[in-house]
Amino acid sequence: MTDQIGRLRTDEDAQEARGLLHQMLRIRRLEEKCVELYSAAKIRGFLHVYIGEEAVAAGVLAALGREDAVVATYREHGHALLRGVSAGSILAEMYGQVQGCCRGRGGSMHLFDAATHFYGGNAIVAGGLPLATGLALADKMTGRSRVTVCFFGEGAAAEGEFHESLNLAALWQLPVLFCCENNLYAMGTALGRSQSQTDLALKAAAYEIPAWAVDGMDVLAVEDAARRAVDAVRAGGGPHFLEARTYRFRAHSMFDPERYRDKAEVTRWSERDPILLLRTALEARGGLTDRDWAAMQQEVDEEVEEGVRFAEAGNPEPAGDLLRFVYSERAQP
């Protein structure tokens, strides 16, 4: 917390920090609502929540411009929300309603919204890396001044796509930021049990990519590191790699019995809740009052509840439309 207070040097710093706190709280409340709705069987299928990791999405996305592209993983509700996909569109997608961002066909793990340049949601571990590399290649070939940010978990480092994508991005000097959300566990496998080199920034540096790690529970540190990386990529510095060392407070998915983590470890990490850390730092500096915090919570809760109402008022796709978008239709002579 001391480091965070040190970064809040001016009123402008405090105002920006309040914005980040608000964004993290939006993710937290949406995810908590998803857990509640899943438990009530209103959301079905797989569900992976982002509780505990909010500082990564909030810090990195704050460094992006409106035209930049985002590719995420199956734990992507928060990324989509902060990128501009409405809570209603996200929840309607998880309800399987046609009003969802993918007409209810993608569900929790496959959120997508071209209007906000949010290109997934991907259920395949490391599956987003080659997509992001391809987007960055297209941008370079067409001369677009755009940065693509690719989020993925540390489990992706065990996949071939990780190495192929980093290698090609470095060879072709593509405008892409690889952002590893290292929460220490790929499903139920601890990083140290699957990787001989657990310093993933060092692994990325082997491809001649500027890479460094950052405290993923400190949103101010994440935002600062992401802004440096994004600015360097945009200036023609080629791909960069950011390892955000974070932790998920809940199980891998709602199906996970979570027998692989020590409860004391979860408790220790929970004490570094990124929302609590920033809120405490702002209060210590005088940049957040109890009234401010209550108003922020009320605003976020109303946004999420409005999203629930939108989803519940929706309807599933008509059965007659289920073959649409499956095969391309040839032009009639």
* DSSP 8-class letter at 330: P
For residue 105, the model assigns a pLDDT of 93
Running DSSP on this structure, what letter comes out for residue 25? H
| Closest-CA residue to 100 (of 115, 114, 112, 82) | 112
Q: How many angstroms separate the CA atoms of 240 and 208, rounded?
A: 9
End-to-end CA distance of the chain: 68
pLDDT at residue 308 in the model: 98
Paired sense of beta strands 148-153 and 176-182, if any: parallel
What are the φ and ψ backbone dihedral angles of 153, each rounded to 5 degrees? -85, 170
The CA distance from 30 to 313, in Å, is 18
Percent of residues in the chain assigned helix, strand, coil, to nearest 5: 50, 10, 40
- Contact status, residue 24 vs residue 299, Cβ threshold 8 Å: no
Alpha-helical segments (H) within the chain: 2-7, 11-39, 54-61, 77-83, 87-95, 128-142, 160-172, 200-205, 219-232, 263-270, 274-285, 290-312
Exposed/middle/buried for residue 321 (C-beta within 10 Å: 0-12, 13-18, 19+): exposed
State residue 217's pLDDT score.
97
Q: ∠131-134-135 over CA atoms, to 5°?
A: 90
Mean pLDDT by 10 residues, the chain (333 residues): 77 95 98 97 95 98 98 98 98 97 95 97 96 98 96 97 98 98 94 93 97 97 98 98 97 90 94 97 94 98 98 93 78 54
Token pair belonging to 303: 């946004």
- What is the total residue count of the chain? 333
For residue 257, the model assigns a pLDDT of 87
The per-residue pLDDT for 333 is 52
Domain architecture of the chain: domains with CATH: 2-313 (3.40.50.970)
Closest Cα partner for 233 from 314, 311, 286, 170? Answer: 170
- Look at the pTM and tell me if it is higher than 0.85: yes
pLDDT reported for residue 321: 87
| Predicted local distance difference test score (pLDDT) of residue 331 | 57
Dihedral in degrees, nearest 10, Cα atoms 239, 244, 250, 255: 30
